Amino acid sequence: METNNNSKIKPNAKALLPIALFLVFYLGNGIYFEYVKPLDGQMGFYVVSVVLAFSIALIVAFLQNRKRSFEENIHFCAKGIGDDNITIMLFIFLMAGAFSGIASAAGGASSTANMLLDLIPGRFVIPGFFLIACIISMAMGTSVGTISVLAPVACAVSANGNIDLPLCLGVVVGGAMFGDNLSFISDTTIAATKTQGVEMKDKFRTNIKVALPAAIVTFVVLIVYAITKNGADVGKLEYSVLQALPYFIVLILSIIGINVFIVLMTGIVLFVGAGIISGSLEYATALNSMGNGMAGMFETMIVTILVASIASLMKENGGFEAILAMIRKRAKGKRGGMFGIAVLTTFMDVATANNTVAIVIAAPIAKEISTEYDVSPKKTASLLDTCSCVMQGIIPYGAQLLVAANIGEITSVSIIPYLIYPFVLIVMVAISIIRDR
């Protein structure tokens, strides 16, 4: 059984039904349980499992072409799942989970945050929060983890220094999205690079030309704000340099381009050593924390497998060609192709409220667009990661804003006006597309 040649596949909008059904089922239930009938102690967009929603979509994809046998559909799913880049991505997810688990258990994140806050003068605590969130999220590879660590401190500083709480939390969320977008061990970076077949360092170099100017503009705005306002009392914070050191080593190794598997293994070993020496870890708790971290990645891995299967069937049924046909009608040249990738990714994140899932869904279509419109794979990976992170940091029903709002006991919508970095990043993405030739 061989896959049809792409040139023989005709556009078929009906082949997009599985993803449309997923969006209606997942987004519809999310909105209902978040805003119409909220459940106590549960975020609306996490009532319905994304795995369940994609499983239903996969069943629909199987049923769409009655002329094809069940075995043939399985063959196409297996080809999608068995792609080299998908396999590498799954292994990296496991390693990243183990790293995240051991780093958290060893106290690395809290020590790093407290150490950096201790070095910042009280007057500049707001720009300091942004800078610290950028550094921690780059080292941790997770925006939600960064927010979970920094948001409680931001709430305390807000109360002590009489600073608007939504501002403090908005600055933390913005910095967390900066690092999540650029980190070599972030699942968004892993998904964006591996689906496009590019090296992480190449995507980083392309990405930083967009993200860094946005971060600098944001930082300058916050510095000006800090100069015009009174300082804040951060208070006495406890930290261990030994526990914080592995994060900085991992960050340096990532930036200089060391293989991500080596970086993650090095980080795990360093955190085990730092945790045991400092007394924050024992042998048993170290093993348990790594196992829990890996388990935390299982849903992301299952979603990746399901989406790879659905995408393969959609492609064979003409779904990709239908999307490309729509883009061809509107896109004019290379810039049009890039805007197409940006809009596609943005829409997927708005619909799924998960930047990694959005990338995995959009990636195969984006790869087709990049080939047809001569967009370099590293630029495509950068657009996938950046656009998904922009929207993920803005939508009020995304995990990032919901976690920050929950910790601060305010509404997620109240934080949106203070999300300076994501809004500046939107402008920088548009400029980078317009200037690209």
pLDDT above 50 for 3 = no
- Asked if residues 311 and 359 have their Cβ atoms less than 8 Å apart, the reply is no
Q: Measured at the alpha carbon of residue 252, what is the angle toward residues 304 and 127, in degrees to the nearest 5?
A: 90
What pLDDT is recorded for position 231?
A: 59
| Cβ count within 10 A of residue 389 | 32
Q: How far apart are CA 437 and CA 432, in angstroms?
A: 10
CA-to-CA dists, residue 350 to 14, 323, 360, angstroms:
22, 18, 14
What pLDDT is recorded for position 161?
A: 66
* Span 248-257, average pLDDT: 78
**Tens-place pLDDT, residues 23-68:** 888 878 888 887 788 887 776 767 888 789 889 999 999 999 888 8
Q: How far apart are CA 407 and CA 114, in angstroms?
A: 18
The structure tokens listed for 263 are 């970086």
* Span 15-19, average pLDDT: 87
- CA-nearest of 209, 222, 227, 262 to 99 is 262
Tokens 């007394």 identify what position? Answer: 279
Q: Measured at the alpha carbon of residue 401, what is the angle toward residues 190 and 196, in degrees to the nearest 5?
A: 20
| Cβ count within 10 A of residue 81 | 17
The structure tokens listed for 365 are 């279509």
What pLDDT is recorded for position 135?
A: 86
Q: How far apart are CA 180 and CA 282, in angstroms?
A: 29
Percent of the chain with pLDDT over 70: 94
| Cβ count within 10 A of residue 28 | 11
User: CA 174 from chain center: how many Å?
Assistant: 13
Question: Helix 125-140 crosses helix 200-228 at what angle (to 10 degrees)?
Answer: 160
What pLDDT is recorded for position 4?
A: 46
pLDDT above 50 for 302 = yes
Q: How far apart are CA 435 and CA 437, in angstroms?
A: 6
pLDDT above 80 for 270 = yes
- Asked if residues 211 and 407 have their Cβ atoms less than 8 Å apart, the reply is no
pLDDT above 60 for 183 = yes
- Asked if residues 308 and 86 have their Cβ atoms less than 8 Å apart, the reply is yes
Looking at per-residue confidence, does 357 or 382 come out higher? 382
**H/E element holding 155?**
helix 143-161
Is the pTM higher than 0.75?
no
- CA-nearest of 380, 344, 370, 360 to 311 is 360
Q: How far apart are CA 115 and CA 126, in angstroms?
A: 16
Q: How far apart are CA 204 and CA 211, in angstroms?
A: 10
